[in-house]
Amino acid sequence: MVERIIVGPLHTNTYVVSTGKKDCVLIDPGDEVELLIERLEAINMVPRAIIFTHGHLDHTSAAQGIISWYRDRGEVGIGIHPEDAEFLGTQARTLNHETFAMFGEGGETYFNNTFSELPKVTFFLEHGDTVPDTDLKVIHTPGHTKGSISLYSELRNYVFTGDTLFFKGIGKTSFAESSETSLMESIEDRLLTLPPETRMFPGHGPNTSIEREKRDRSYSTDHSMF
């Protein structure tokens, strides 16, 4: 089971991926803690891990609230690529503020309304790793951030692409840690080479497929988003 829950003013896609009868991993819980908990309780799922496709606040801000709520039902692990780990822990406030301050007053408002304590990393996810207790293989797809990852299930025929590749769009490369060259290489060499029938679940916007994005190729850095 994969369930998408759209959260926050930036309409981030949070994904619930079942790993057992009542267990799941949560991908990119970016906002609206109460909504996420309400939905998890409604479908009787308990998150055993939270996975971040990258470290930006619109993908991480609800994590600590989720951990606190489920504390009595077991540990919730936190996984991220080591090159994005600095967006969590002691440097979280500074780096996330810098990221959103570049958007001017709107970015400052978003940061002030959204930022809260962020959890510490409990395990790292590097290229070729498998997320514990799942069949999700980590694909390092840098560009939007240095530590951006995608999560691919060959068995279930889907991939979570975070803010690397969207339906008719790509991630921004205007951040200090971004690289347009790396982003395009990640898309061309590591995502569009997946089987064309692979379903694609991006960090924002509607679901799509590798075949559709490979065929369309309408994206460019002039149309980057998020």
What are the chain's domains? 2-223 (3.60.15.10)
Q: Which residues contact 110 (CB under 8 A, 6 or more apart)?
A: 9, 10, 58, 100, 103
* Claim: this prediction has a pTM higher than 0.85: yes
Over 80: is that where the pLDDT of 44 sits? Answer: yes
Strand ranges across the sheet with 158-162: 137-140, 149-153, 158-162, 199-202, 208-209
Average pLDDT in the 165-179 region?
Answer: 91
Question: Which is nearest to 70 in space by CA: 130, 25, 13?
Answer: 25
Q: Say what the pLDDT of residue 222 is.
A: 52
User: Residue 161's pLDDT band (boundaries 50, 70, 90)?
Assistant: very high
- Binned at pLDDT 50, 70 and 90, residue 116 comes out as confident
Q: Give the pLDDT band (50/70/90) at residue 225.
A: low
Q: Got the DSSP string for 63-95?
A: HHHHHHHTGGG---EEEE-GGGGGGSGGGHHHH
